[in-house]
Amino acid sequence: MTQPTVGIITVTSDAARYDVGDAVVLATRFTDAQGVPTDPTTVTLTVRAPDATVETVTGAQLGHSAAGTYTHVLVAAQAGVHRYRWAGTGAVQQASEGSFSVRSQTV
């Protein structure tokens, strides 16, 4: 049995702060230990909203534009800090977390 590669993962959102109703693009890039973009066997994105509700996104629900590169677009429905975690298993085992802020509209 081949040992899985423990690789490198980079996570980003397309802005630091959003307003309620904005589209938020979350992205990640998985690479092997040498930095070569590599697809994990399974990719999971978990997003926790400020009210503690959790959305889990996997497989065909994720955008996959190139080897190791995955995206997901969600609409910011709640004000507050949203936290997210990308995780890869199998061929590349790695996970990383991030967060973004959503502010209430004032007008």
Global pTM reads 0.87
In this predicted structure, what is the pLDDT of residue 62?
97
In a domain, 106, yes or no: no
Residue among 71, 68, 85, 59 at smallest CA distance from 30: 68
Average pLDDT for 83-88: 95
- Domain assignment present for residue 75? The answer is yes
Query: Domain range for residue 63?
Result: 8-99
User: Which pLDDT does position 107 carry in this prediction?
Assistant: 72
Residue 14 resides in a domain: yes
- How many domains does the structure of the chain reveal? 1
Residue 107 within a domain:
no
- Cβ neighbourhood burial of 52 (10 Å; 0-12, 13-18, 19+): exposed
78: CATH? 2.60.40.1930
- The neighbour count for residue 70, using CB atoms within 10 Å, is 23
Tens of pLDDT along 49-79?
999 999 999 999 999 999 999 999 999 999 9
Query: Considering the domain boundaries, does residue 2 fall inside one?
Result: no
- pLDDT tens profile 14-49: 777 899 999 999 999 999 888 899 999 999 999 999
Is 104 within a domain?
no
105 is a domain residue: no
50: in domain: yes
